[in-house]
């Protein structure tokens, strides 16, 4: 499965919320997420553009692997695998004993809006600011997904350049 998404900085999330409401789209859920990212002992995920994270949220715990990003129009696509786990703490202990090192933690509050097969999230990321992500999961039609994402961004009044870096990359570059 490919995750195709575009991310934009937004100064005023209220304007985006109002546009979503005018389209009849209501918030599905709001949750706190804490993502703990790891680097591998045998290769540097920063260099290979991969990510391994343990997510703690209101629903439970998930381990996620993300492959390298590929630009598709004004969006990015990457392979993603998610697996629910019974205990984030136990998984983190296993990763640590296998030689994986914590790279950083990203904390955010997310609001989820569903528009058919499109997920719109409004994110308030600790230390970084507020953003909108528009995402479509697809098997192979990444170009069509990217075009649809661009059209939705326009409908929602989102302007400015898309951000191709992840929250992790943004946070790490800010710390340097």
Catalytic residues: 37
User: Rounded to an integer, what distance in angstroms lies between the CA atom of residue 34 and that of residue 126?
Assistant: 10
Neighbours of 172 (CB within 10 A): 16
H or E element at residue 94: helix 88-97
User: Rounded to an integer, what distance in angstroms lies between the CA atom of residue 27 and that of residue 145?
Assistant: 22
**Chain centre to alpha carbon of residue 111:** 12
User: Rounded to an integer, what distance in angstroms lies between the CA atom of residue 6 and that of residue 20?
Assistant: 17
């Amino acid at each position: 499965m490919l995750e195709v998404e575009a991310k934009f900085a937004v100064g005023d999330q209220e304007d985006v919320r109002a546009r979503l409401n005018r389209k009849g789209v209501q918030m599905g859920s709001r949750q706190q997420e804490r993502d703990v990212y790891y680097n591998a002992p045998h290769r540097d995920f920063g260099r290979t553009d991969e990510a391994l994270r343990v997510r703690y949220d209101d629903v439970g715990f998930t381990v996620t692997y993300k492959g390298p990003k590929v630009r598709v129009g004004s969006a990015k696509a990457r392979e993603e695998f998610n697996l629910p786990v019974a205990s984030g703490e136990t998984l983190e202990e296993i990763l640590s004993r296998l030689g994986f090192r914590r790279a950083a933690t990203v904390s955010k509050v997310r609001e989820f809006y569903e528009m058919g097969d499109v997920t719109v999230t409004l994110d308030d990321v600790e230390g970084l600011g507020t953003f909108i992500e528009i995402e479509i999961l697809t098997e192979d039609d990444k170009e069509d997904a990217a075009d649809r994402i661009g059209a939705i961004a326009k409908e929602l009044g989102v302007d400015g350049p898309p951000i191709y870096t992840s929250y992790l990359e943004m946070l790490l570059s800010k710390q340097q």
